[in-house]
Structure 1
């Protein structure tokens, strides 16, 4: 994992013909630009399906949700499959603003990989 900001670390790996992004820390107004830039840069170099694993994110705010929406829209334009995995706190935040269907929120990483490789 590389440090994207003081409060956010991220990385990615290719698994089962998918790109799996991992993040820890806080996805908020202070880190959303670096988060978006990092994901966009990796997506430009690959055409695989995408899983964003937020299960180790401590906090996500409206700016973080906006960054997720931006990435989901880009994936939709590219006709690229896109799923999000979150911990209970992240899931609650996503569901609170009714984005669970748009962001394709799934229960866990194994479920996400199963959906994309089935």
Structure 2
């Protein structure tokens, strides 16, 4: 069995940045959401999810992104998502690109995070 999602975390300018690669799907979504929400609830109100290296995202992954965005918003935080063409296309299909604050690069996300 292979791990479908891998990632690293860094802290920069009081912001938690998660660099993810692989697939954000029904298999990886529960762990992904649990890990990210634990950081949101414990320490961080500024989160960047770098999905620029994601190969595939399905409805489970989109649902997790929406739940994370809502939790960050509830805590008066800011969530930015660095996207790639594949992720952007999937997000646009369900008309969530503005809600999820998609960015083209990590630099753009860092500049726009409040």
Q: What TM-score do you get using the length of structure 2 for normalisation?
A: 0.93
Structure 2 unaligned runs (5+)? none
Of 7-16 and 64-73, deviating more is 7-16
Q: How many pairs does the alignment contain?
A: 113
Corresponding residue for residue 92 of structure 2: 95
Unaligned stretches of 5+ in structure 1? none
Given candidates 27, 35, 39, the residue that maps to 2:36 is 39
Conserved 8 A contact 2:82-2:104: yes
The alignment's TM-score, normalised by the length of structure 1, stands at 0.90
User: 1:51 touches 1:82 (CA, 8 Å); kept in 2?
Assistant: yes
Distance 2:28 2:44 in 1: 25
List structure 1 runs of 4+ shifted beyond 2 angstroms: none
Tell me how far apart the structure 1 counterparts of residues 18 and 41 of structure 2 sit (CA, whole Å): 14
State the distance in 2 between where 1:30 and 1:22 align: 18
